A and B are shown apart, each in its own frame.
Chain A
Amino acid sequence: MPPDRARAIRRVTMIVTLLAVLSALAFMTVGVRGSWGFVLAHRGIRLAALVTVAYAIALSTVLFQTLTGNRILTPAVMGFDALFILLQTALVTTLGATATGALDPRLLFAAECLVMVGLSGLLFRLLFRGEGGNLPLVVLSGLLFGALFRSLSSFLQRIMDPNDFLVLQGRAFASFNVVDPTLIGVAALLALAATAIVLPRLSALDVLVLGRDRATGLGIDTTQLSATIFALVAVLVSASTTLVGPTTFFGLLVANLAYLMVPSARHADVLPVAIGLAVVTLVGGQMLLERVLGFGTALSIVIDFVGGVVFLFILFRTGRR
């Protein structure tokens, strides 16, 4: 790699890291009134949740896009997070609020993660069977599946017992504003475990960018690698969704910004920047909206608006080529 390119990568990584740290600091300190101890503890929990989410979404999106060989699809666009919500809704509907309430939320979450890995694997197989897959078809069916899962969830929520609904609301309707604190530890642990599994496979993932056939030709067991990475993606999506709910275009936004900013296709170069950007967008954005703009809008709306525009832009550009 020529030295100026290496330097450019280092510079981008440093700037993004710095911005991420600054956003975190600002999030903790801007506009504090009253007891510092209380405010820091309260905000610290939210910060931990947001950082975990940013990390999980950035990582899962980049991995997913490497796996599918495109830059339009993300787990969220494919409706994976909607699937997770549906799973939770179905669980509360069938077992009832009392039963689900009696279970350890961590145990429940672990079970949900497992089911998620199975179901999303099935969905993935369905959409990407055959050689390469037909991208427009996959995009459309992904969006349709997402809509289907969301509609099914809201249907179940309409017909369920009001008491069950209240329990579900506490569990499944988290957002950037209202994070669910019980599972932050578990989610962060999962994200770290996923990282530990991904790290030794980074250079193999770099090769996978060339496409399945070329990666096979270069000696990579693509079936096994895909299955491993795919399970990780499903777990990461579950972790982020349980903390803040669905985020349709957030991953797409940060992953594509990272590809744009980093003059390298190596995962070791792209992933840190994508994660940093996710933290800046989520933590910095939340801070700006809450403290500077006075809670005018929910951050998810802003992110989905900008991300949606980026999505359309990339879709049109890819379509033309």
Chain B
Amino acid sequence: MIEIDKISKRYGQTTVIDAVSLAIPRGGVVGIVGPNGAGKSTLLSIMSRLTKTDAGRVSIDGLDVTKAPGRELARRLSVMRQENHVAARLTVQDLVAFGRFPHNRGRPTREDTEQVATAISFVGLEAMADRFLDQLSGGQRQRAFVAMTLAQDADYALFDEPLNNLDIHHAVSMMRLFRRMGDQPGKTVVIVLHDLNVAAAYADRIIVMQDGRMVGDGPPANVINRRLLSEVFRVEGDVIDIDGRRVVSVAR
């Protein structure tokens, strides 16, 4: 369980996260949505100890993220952020192998090698395994980083807008991949998403952020509605039910 207890974050005068409390139990796919600047990425970043909070605390299975040993946390929680630039020349294989670091401290066993190969084939990059990252397209590189997260095999996997740079085909296969991850026993996937339709289609639970506060939380059917569109995203539009799934259609 990820427990977030009244965390706040300010940059100068601006409050980016305002006393957010939240519990994410094990299992399933959780989507975080909200307009630009709502604090989604910051929330994810604080959950994964990459940004310090000004107040409040976050714990993963009872471990305080600011105090627990890094290695312990890395086996429980993985995170993929938006930017995917690396200064060094690494191959896909090299990159994905880093995902095993929390488990092997840089001494790969046969099992690690297998896990890396499985992760690479999961994202469909087998043919590119020995290519350097700078020889890949933006979408392929994105998938390589997702493969690294897969190889890390943590109980909680956090992704910050993982669908950037992906065409619709790869976006859908990526979301299916996350769905499969979230369906495995004991595994939880938390994704910051832009596209409400994607969130509605794949998430079990949707958390809505606005101006640093949590303004909605629940299954897609309860959260995605016309009020969400007009009050949070400030667009007019309709929410339609197709085969029991919420679909958003924004007015032109």
Contact = CB atoms under 8 A, between A and B. Distances in A.
Nearest to B86: A210
B89 A259 contact: yes
A70 B72 CA distance: 29
A219 B86 contact: no
B93 interface: yes
B93 A218 contact: no
B74 A2 contact: no
Given A2-B130, A213-B50, A213-B81, A219 B87 contact: no
Contact of B79 (A203, A209, A211, A217): A217
B7 to A, nearest CB: 18
B86 A220 contact: no
Q: Select the residue from B78, B93, B98, B130 with max chain A CB neighbours within 10 A.
A: B98
B89 A203 contact: no
A217 B48 contact: yes
A204 B50 contact: no
Interface in B126-167: 130, 152
B86 A211 contact: yes
Interface stretch (B29-37, B100-108, B169-177, B193-201): B100-108
B227 interface: no
A88 B68 CA distance: 43
B87 A221 contact: no
B99 to A, nearest CB: 7
A270 to B, nearest CB: 9
B218 interface: no
A14 interface: no
A206 B95 CA distance: 10
A265 B89 contact: yes
B179 interface: no
Contacts of B99: 218
Interface in A196-243: 202-204, 206-207, 209-211, 213-214, 216-221
Q: How large is the interface on B (under 10, 10 to 19, 20 to 34, 35 or more residues)?
A: 20 to 34
Given A204-B106, A206-B106, A218 B89 contact: no
B102 A219 contact: yes
A202 B85 CA distance: 22
Contact of B102 (A218, A263, A265): A218
A203 B81 CA distance: 22
Contacts of B85: 211
Given A70-B87, A204-B106, A265-B89, A219 B98 contact: no
A153 to B, nearest CB: 33
Interface string B62-87: 00000001111111001101000111
Contacts of A70: 87
Contacts of B73: 219
Q: Secondary structure at chain A's binding surface: helix, strand, loop or mixed?
A: loop
A218 B98 contact: yes
B90 interface: yes
Contacts of A209: 86-88, 90
B86 A217 contact: no
Nearest to B100: A218
Nearest to A218: B101
B213 interface: no
B75 A219 contact: yes
A132 to B, nearest CB: 9
A121 interface: no
Contact of A207 (B49, B98, B107): B98
B3 interface: no
Contact of A217 (B78, B93, B94, B95): B78
A150 interface: no
B114 to A, nearest CB: 15
The 5 closest A-B pairs by CB, nearest first: A203-B106, A219-B74, A265-B88, A219-B71, A219-B70
28 contacts: A5-B130, A203-B105, A207-B106, A209-B86, A209-B87, A209-B90, A210-B86, A211-B86, A211-B87, A213-B50, A214-B98, A216-B49, A217-B48, A218-B98, A218-B101, A218-B152, A219-B70, A219-B71, A219-B72, A219-B73, A219-B74, A219-B102, A220-B101, A259-B88, A263-B89, A265-B88, A265-B90, A265-B94
Given A207-B98, A218-B152, 9 more contacts: A5-B130, A202-B106, A209-B90, A210-B98, A217-B50, A219-B70, A220-B70, A221-B70, A259-B88
